[in-house]
Each structure stands twice: as structure tokens, then as C-alpha cells.
Chain A
Amino acid sequence: MVVKVSTIQLGGCSGCHVSLLDVGKDLFSDAITVVHSYLLMDKVTDTVESDTDVLLIEGAVLTNEDEDLLRRIAPHAKTVLAVGSCACFGGIACLGNLKNPFVTNTDNLKDSKHKLHPLVCSPKAFIDVDYYIPGCPPPASVIGDTILALVNGKPVPEISHTVCDECEREKTHTAPPIVPGGKWKTTLDEAPDPKKCLLEQGYLCLGRQTMGGCNASCTKANIACEACRGPIFLFRGFKKFTDKEKKEVLKCLK
């Protein structure tokens, strides 16, 4: 059986599509056919409305057209995946909401369908999402594993450990030092010691709370974790307290 995969991009940076390409050869195998993708199609046609097995969504809802597109496509997809932090939580795109920069003069814009949405939000405000793959962008291995699991009809791997669990730096498991003036060290200061725990050195590393699966790639490269994969408890936490189906729980959370 050939699994039909579609990808769409809302307001985003294409980084998740690039990460999807990093999956490499598996993506071009005979078991998968890409039926719709801005990046990998000759012509963006209405085939997107035909049945698709797996729909990958990148980006947050920024324009009215984005909302229409979601409402049109999602019912035709068997499984909907939100790929990347913008599609999962709103991400960078939603930072715009905080400061209200979108007091823009889009009334001048000839074409009304491209007008900005009143509130930038993640796709889950309009459609049901089956699986979330957070990250900015999510590591290719995680996207690949999820797609392959769906292709082979296996359960999608759920990650229940933190970045800190994956990080191999030396930890004393003490509280971070209190820096004079109560300030954290930043990237403006000297480069951190490559072996010791970043948090214990006084850098604001968010790895202790952040969902793992990225193999602690940033802390390995001497960069403090910026929590791009979001908090861990949002995803695994509710499972512990209820025997309800995941879909139902997510519905309640919405």
C-alpha cells in the first residue's frame, strides 16, 4: 500500500519543510507518495482536497486564507500532524500577538483573502490535530520516525523524557548559582565551559523542562537549550490522570 502524504505551509519559515527533506531517502521511498506540497510539486492544484493519508501542517494561521485552507483540507486527511512549534503552539509567529504589531494597514491590499487574521494562532484552534511534533524545527529523525510509524501502521513513538535526560554534561544536581544582581549569564558573556551543566554555570538553559528527542543537540554544541520543543508535561501529563482516549482529552483541552 502506498501512503499518500500532503504537506501545507501556513505562516512559517519553511524550516520544517527543510527538516522534512533532511529525512532523506526514506521520504523518496516507494511506500510514500507526496501528493501535495508547495516545495515538491509542479503545480499547486486542488489535489490537496483529494484524500490524503497523512497531512503535515507547518506554521501558524496568519491570514484569512490560512484558516480557509485548513478548514477545507483537514476533513480529507486521515491523520493530521502539526509539525513544528508554530503549528503546535503558535511559536515565533505568535510572538506578534504579544506586542500587537498587526495594527497594519492591510485595508489597502487589493485581495481580501490574504488579509491578516485578527489573531495569530496555531491550527488547533480550527481543526483536530492527531499528533504534535514540536521543535523549531523538529529533528529530521523525529519527523521520519513518526511518518514511518504511520506508514507501517505502528504506534507513533511518544517521547517522555527531557532534554536534560539526553544531555551528557557533568551535573551535580544542585540549584543554579545565584549570580550577583540576580542576572543570568547570556550569549553576550564568555563562551560556557563545554563539559559542565549550563544551568549550574549560570546560563539560562531550559533543558530540564523541555521535551527531549532532539538528542540535546544544542547543549552538545555549547548552546543553552531555548525550549524550542516546548514543555514536556503538556503532552504526556494528562495521560496519567485519565483513562479517556487521547482524542477526547485533547478535545477537552481545546
Chain B
Amino acid sequence: MSKVVTIDNLARLEGHASVALYINKSGNVEKAEYIATEPSRGFDMILKGKHASEIPRLAARICGICYTPHNIVACKALEDAWGTVIPRSAKKIRELIIYANTLSSHALHNVFLAGPGLLIGGPNAISDLKKKYPDFLEAGIKLRAIGQDISEIIAGRKVHTIIAAPGGVLGALSKEKQDSIMDLLDSADEHISTLGEYTRKIVSQKKNYMLSFGKIDTHFLSLKQGKRLELYDAPLELLMKSGKKELLTPVQLLDRITEEEKDYSYVRHPYLTKLGAEGGQFRVGPLPRIQNAKWDNPYFHDFKKNFGELTQSTMGYDAARIAEMAECVREMKNIIDSGLDNEIKNIARPRDGVGVAVVEAPRGILLHYYETDKNGIIKKARVIAPTTFHQGSIERTTFEAARMVLKASNGRFADEEKVMIEQAIRAYDPCMSCAGATQLRIIKREA
């Protein structure tokens, strides 16, 4: 009979989740369960029956951190269903605001959520952060503010930006607005280098920890990366453990995955059907994106030097984010330099159709699926968020991390050990309100 220990209410992650560990008589971890306790709000049912014009703004409310990708991918999916094309500048503005959102989300995670644990560790990390590393906190607050301010300039508000609509975006970006974004971006570089220095220090001081803690082996899924960070428009690329690559369309992805229900969690566990629940797990997010990218910034080169070409290190997520932040700033500058005009919106004409689209949210691939009728009323909606894709991987990471931690502590399971296990989970930056958006176990209603 194995003993069950739990970590209730994981701290410093978005939403609610807990962990249950099954420990056998000899003190070894037998099984780990990652329990999504975030109550699902049933977005698939909320969206069903609504007019398509309302979908992008309702979809943004799925998540309070990555609202922009939800808003934009909903538009993209509806455009896919109706064959609507969007003007060139609209695409650029959408990219701009996704980069801004990624910048602030990563800054939030690296500084407030993961940072304290990596820099200080132990059960009082965040209260010590202000005293021990004020410059780190300061840079994080400022960098996050830059991302949020850019969102505000483009969409009028910082959180739940709803600027995108089927057919383009609603507001153009005037010359003055472009100039103020440029000013903000110019001040971002110094904060990124502050955070970058800290990341460098963490990786060099705790190299072994960063490389091996909570390490598992999975496949990887991201948009195909090239010389620039692609978050909006690129084919999906599945990178197998073996190094084999394959391009997919969003529809093919939906065909290939199975979502397994668990009796302890609100969220299903997706995996590649062909390879089974054990071998078919794949990860999304910053780590897969950096794997075969060819960016050019110092943090990217650092990452490749420390972690190698193809790495399975879970903690690599935290190191990959800094490279992405630098890339976000560079790409935003490039977009504004390339020029924007006032042609931002085409009229979207609803028709009977099925649309599915993906974008890269800060945490990874985000998929929306809609069926509409000829008047634009939603017949079926489905959302698969990055953290949903991660459920199985997080569970395995928890298992590996718990095994390592309990081995080192000789079976003692106190606050320090709990905090260490949480740190491994935090690498994925789990967002439980996204994950539970539509993955409710719904039984058919009696007529």
C-alpha cells in the first residue's frame, strides 16, 4: 500500500492546480498526478450559439495573461472557415501585438514566477527578492510594463486586448503611435540585458541542475522557426525525439491526437495517437521553438552553447524565454520599420464552414476550432490551449523531479522539497485557466 502526499494549491502559477505523489514502503515515488483543480468555465458551450462577431472578444477572456493570442487565433479560425483574407498591415499589427504580449508574459514569468525560485530558492524566495536582487525585480517590472504599454497603444487597453476582428484589425496605427512604440522598444534593451545577465549567471552556476532537473524525453511541436521568431503565420512542425521533422497543417494535428480523460483532473491529456499515451507525448512552447531556430541574438547563442542542438532539459524553458524576449523586441522594431498603412480591415462575410487555426501563444501552440452556419452563428467550438498539450509532460516532469528531490532528501517531504518540485512544474509556465477552458467532461444532455 503506497502513501499519498500532496502539494495543494501550487503557488506562483496561473490558476489552480495541485500535485499528488504516491510513495511506496521503501520511500520511492511510484506515481505522480498533476491535478488541474481549476474549475472549467465551459467555453465551448459559452461560445456555441453566439454570433461570430462576438467570438474574438469572448475568446480573449479565456486567459488573463495570453489574451492576445486567444483573440487573434479566434479571428484566424473564423477567417479560415469563411475564406476571408486580411490586409497586409492588419497582419503586421496582429504580429506586433502578439510579440508585445509574449514580451510581457515572459517578463512576468521569468521575474515574478520562476525567477525567485531560480535565483534564491527555498520557501521564502519572493520575499527575499526585493531585498537581495532589487535590480532584477526593477528590470522585470519595467520590461513587463513596456510590453503592456505597447498593447495599450495598439489596442487601447493593457489586459484583454480585443483589437483583432475577423477580416483584420479595428484600429490603425498612426505615425505618432508607431513613434511612441519605438521609444518604448529602445528602452527595452537595457532591461533585457539585465535579465539576460542573471539568466547567464543561473545557467553557469547551476549547470547540472538546469540540464538534468525534471528532464523527460518527448517530441516537440511548434510553428516552423527560421531566422525570425514566428508566432503568427507559419506551418506547424513536429520534431520527433529522433530528430526527424515533419510539417503539419492544423487539421492534420487534430486528426493525429487523442485526448485522454483522467478521473482526477479537469483537463484531458492529449498525445499522438499512433505512438500511444507513453511514447506520444509532445511539448510545446519556448523550448520547442528554440530547438531548430536560427535566430541571431547573444542569448540564443548562449542557449545553444549550454544546452546543445536538441535538448530535452525541462529547465531549458526558463533559459529559452530570455532569447525570445530579445527576439520579440527586434521583430517589433523590424515590423514598424517596414511601414504600416491605414488599410486594416476587410469585410468578413460569414458562410457555412469549418475553420481551424493555430498561433504561438507565449506558452506554445494554441488551437481554436469553429463550425459556423451561413449567418455566422457558431455551431461548435473547441479550444486546445498550450497547457492542455502539456498535461502529460508536466505529470512526468513532476514524477522525475519528485524522484530526484526525495532521493536527495532521503524521503523527507517538507516545505523545501515541495518548493523544489514546484519549480520544475513552473518551468512550463502552466496556465490552468487556459487549459480548463473547454476541456470539460460534458455528457450529452437528455433531450
Contact = CB atoms under 8 A, between A and B. Distances in A.
Interface of A: 9, 11-19, 21-22, 24-25, 28, 38-44, 62-63, 65-66, 92-93, 95-96, 99-106, 108-111, 114, 116, 136-137, 139-140, 186-192, 194, 214, 217-223, 226, 228
Contacts of A228: 160
A41 B162 CA distance: 30
Contacts of B37: 63, 65, 111, 114
8 contacts: A18-B158, A38-B12, A62-B39, A99-B45, A99-B49, A101-B442, A187-B166, A189-B347
B39 A39 contact: no
Contact of A110 (B8, B123, B263): B263
A17 B64 contact: yes
A22 B130 CA distance: 17
Contact of A41 (B11, B145, B344, B441): B11
Given A136-B61, A223-B163, A42 B126 contact: yes
Given A9-B15, A43-B11, 16 more contacts: A13-B61, A14-B64, A15-B65, A15-B159, A19-B159, A22-B148, A40-B126, A42-B123, A65-B37, A92-B58, A99-B49, A109-B263, A186-B51, A187-B165, A188-B53, A218-B157
Contacts of B16: 9, 38
| Top 5 A-B pairs, shortest CB-CB distance | A15-B64, A221-B156, A101-B45, A186-B53, A62-B39
A100 B148 CA distance: 35
Given A188-B53, A221-B171, A223-B171, A43 B163 contact: no
Given A102-B42, A108-B441, A188-B166, A15 B263 contact: no
B171 A191 contact: yes
B295 interface: no
A30 to B, nearest CB: 10
A42 B125 contact: yes
Contacts of A102: 42, 440
A22 B443 contact: no
Contacts of B400: none
A14 B443 CA distance: 28
Interface in B6-28: 8-16
B392 interface: no
Interface string B294-329: 000000000000000000000000000000000000
A39 B347 contact: no
A11 B433 CA distance: 8
Contacts of A22: 145, 148, 158-159
A114 B15 CA distance: 13
Interface string B141-152: 100110010001
Contacts, number: 203
A14 B123 contact: no
B264 A110 contact: yes
Interface of B: 8-16, 35, 37-39, 41-42, 44-46, 48-49, 51-53, 56-58, 61-65, 67, 108, 112-113, 116, 123-127, 130, 137, 141, 144-145, 148, 152, 154-160, 162-163, 165-172, 263-264, 266, 344-345, 347-350, 376, 415, 418-419, 431, 433, 440-443, 445
A140 B159 CA distance: 10
Contacts of A136: 61, 160
A61 B418 CA distance: 28
* Interface hub of B12, B51, B61, B168 (most chain A Cβ within 10 A): B61
* Interface hub of B15, B130, B347 (most chain A Cβ within 10 A): B15
- A interface, over-half SS: loop
B31 to A, nearest CB: 14
B216 to A, nearest CB: 25
A38 B345 contact: no
A191 B170 contact: yes
Contact of B156 (A62, A99, A186, A220): A220
A192 B170 contact: yes
B157 A187 contact: no
A217 B52 contact: no
B61 A226 contact: no
* Interface hub of B57, B62, B376 (most chain A Cβ within 10 A): B57
Nearest to B162: A223
A188 B81 CA distance: 14
A110 B144 CA distance: 39
Contacts of A95: 46
A46 B11 CA distance: 13
Contacts of A96: 41-42, 45-46
A210 to B, nearest CB: 14
B46 A99 contact: yes
Contacts of B108: 18, 21
Contacts of B137: 28
A103 B444 CA distance: 8
Contacts of A101: 42, 44-46, 440, 442
A13 B167 contact: no
Given A186-B53, A191-B171, A221-B154, A13 B63 contact: yes
A137 B125 contact: no
B145 A103 contact: no
A194 B266 CA distance: 43
A111 B331 CA distance: 46
A152 to B, nearest CB: 22
A228 B263 CA distance: 36
Nearest to B344: A191
Contacts of A105: 441-443
A191 B345 contact: yes
* Interface hub of B16, B49, B344, B376 (most chain A Cβ within 10 A): B16
B73 to A, nearest CB: 16
A109 B261 CA distance: 11
A57 to B, nearest CB: 15
A92 B154 CA distance: 24
A137 B263 contact: no
B167 A188 contact: yes
A42 B141 contact: no
B68 to A, nearest CB: 12
Given A13-B64, A93-B41, A114-B37, A109 B264 contact: yes
A66 B9 CA distance: 13
A217 B152 contact: yes
* Interface hub of A63, A95, A108, A191 (most chain B Cβ within 10 A): A191
